[in-house]
Amino acid sequence: MIDFTINYVINKIMKIVVVYPESNFTKEQRERLYKLGEVAFTKNRDELSLEKLLVLTKDANIIGIDPDPFGGFEKAKLLVTKVIESLPRLKGVCLSTTSFGWVDLDYCRKRKLPVSNIPGYSRESVAEHALALLLCLAKKIILLDRKTREGKYQLEMGFNLKGKTLGIIGLGNIGSRVAELGQAVGMKVIAYNRSPKKQKGVKMVSLSELLVNSDMISLHSTHELVNNNFINEKLLSKMKDGVIIVNTVDRELVDEKAMAKAVKSGKVASYGVEVEDLEHGPLVGLENVIMIKGFAWYTKDSMENLARIWVENIEHLAKGKPQNVVK
């Protein structure tokens, strides 16, 4: 009788809008959401106008949001804020991502709105993706593919990862797995983290020491405003000549004008980054830069993890006990 009463009250007052296709959830997951109240989904992940987003989310108590319908990581923050501003009865926000830099956390804190993310769901896929980019850059696989397609094939000398030093900036959930993978292929792994960390086989060093000694650097710091242009001209100047850098976090982490200058001079041998906009910016067209749309997280295994944790986050928020809250 108690369970029925609780569900009945929730059903009468709760409106949940998930800005994500219903088809990405299992039948069991959808049924769990329906038990919480009125639930609305989008048909696909296409970008939506502000007007459509406002209509879709009207009167919502909980919103589950994905960056794509809001224009992607690089455009989402303003639209997300406008949507939240239009929802006076909102209890909180559940993100479809681990990263949270695309949401105005300061505004949400002022409204006392918990924001939940999905930690760890894509740890393996993003870590493997980072290693794949490091391999592609070291072996010049993508560069040679481009030249071959253009009828300009020529030998390009790469190098082995074994015996080289991999520097990891940010030894968190994903960075720690990249460290394991780096060791597995015979690399010496050093790491810098803002807070104290320990990991078997990894030497913790200062940022300056990492920059000076790394043959390859993989960026895994948090995606937030304070880290914009973290890799700047000053830090690039401290790195080894011919260093390779991979960024699977956020393009804003790197000063792209400074990076373009470093790539052109040979200070940085090559740079790999995931971005939304492939057509604008100082890195566009540079031969030794790999710019690809973000899809490191997109594997079958990761998407199953995402849906499972996302539904759990929404359930906990609906019951007034939010979990995985971004601090």
One-letter amino acid at 122 equals S
Domain identity same for 150 and 57: no
Report how many domains make up the chain: 2
- Between 31 and 4, name the one with better pLDDT: 31
Amino acid occupying residue 211: L
pLDDT digits (tens, 9 = 90+) for 159-218: 999 999 999 999 999 999 999 999 999 999 999 999 999 999 999 999 999 999 999 999
225 and 166 within one domain: yes
Domain-embedded: residue 267: yes
Give mean pLDDT, residues 21-44.
96
Strands (E), the chain: 15-21, 38-42, 62-65, 92-95, 115-116, 165-169, 188-192, 202-204, 216-219, 243-247, 268-275, 289-293
Q: Do 284 and 185 share a structural domain?
A: yes
Domain contains 325: no
243 CB-near residues (< 8 Å, 6+ apart): 214, 215, 216, 217, 267, 268, 269
Q: Confidence class of residue 2 from pLDDT cuts 50, 70 and 90?
A: very low
Q: How confident is the model at residue 10 (pLDDT cuts 50, 70, 90)?
A: very low
Q: pLDDT at residue 228 above 70?
A: yes
Average pLDDT, the chain: 93
pLDDT tier at 99 (50, 70, 90 boundaries)? confident
> Does the structure show a pLDDT above 80 at 6?
no
Examine the domain organization and report whether 128 and 117 are in the same domain. no
User: DSSP labels for 276-312?
Assistant: S-SSSSTTTT-TTEEEEES-TT-SHHHHHHHHHHHHH
| 233 has a pLDDT exceeding 60 | yes
Give the span between the Cα atoms of 98 and 295, in whole angstroms.
14
pLDDT of residue 12: 52
Domain that holds residue 189: 124-293
Asked if residue 288 and residue 176 are part of one domain, the reply reads: yes
Residue 237 and residue 221 in one domain: yes
**Is the domain of 79 the same as that of 137?**
no
Confidence of residue 24 (pLDDT cuts 50, 70, 90): very high
Domain at 113, CATH number? 3.40.50.720
**Cross-strand bridge partners of residue 202:** 189
Q: How far apart are CA 95 and CA 118, in angstroms?
A: 7
Whole-model pTM: value is 0.83
Query: Is the per-residue pLDDT at 227 higher than 90?
Result: no
Residue 226: pLDDT band with limits 50, 70, 90? confident
Rg (CA), the chain: 22
Question: In this predicted structure, what is the pLDDT of residue 27?
Answer: 96
Q: Is residue 281 part of a domain?
A: yes
Mean pLDDT of 107-114: 97
Mean pLDDT of 269-292: 95
117 and 134 in a single domain? The answer is no
> Is 282 within the bounds of a domain?
yes
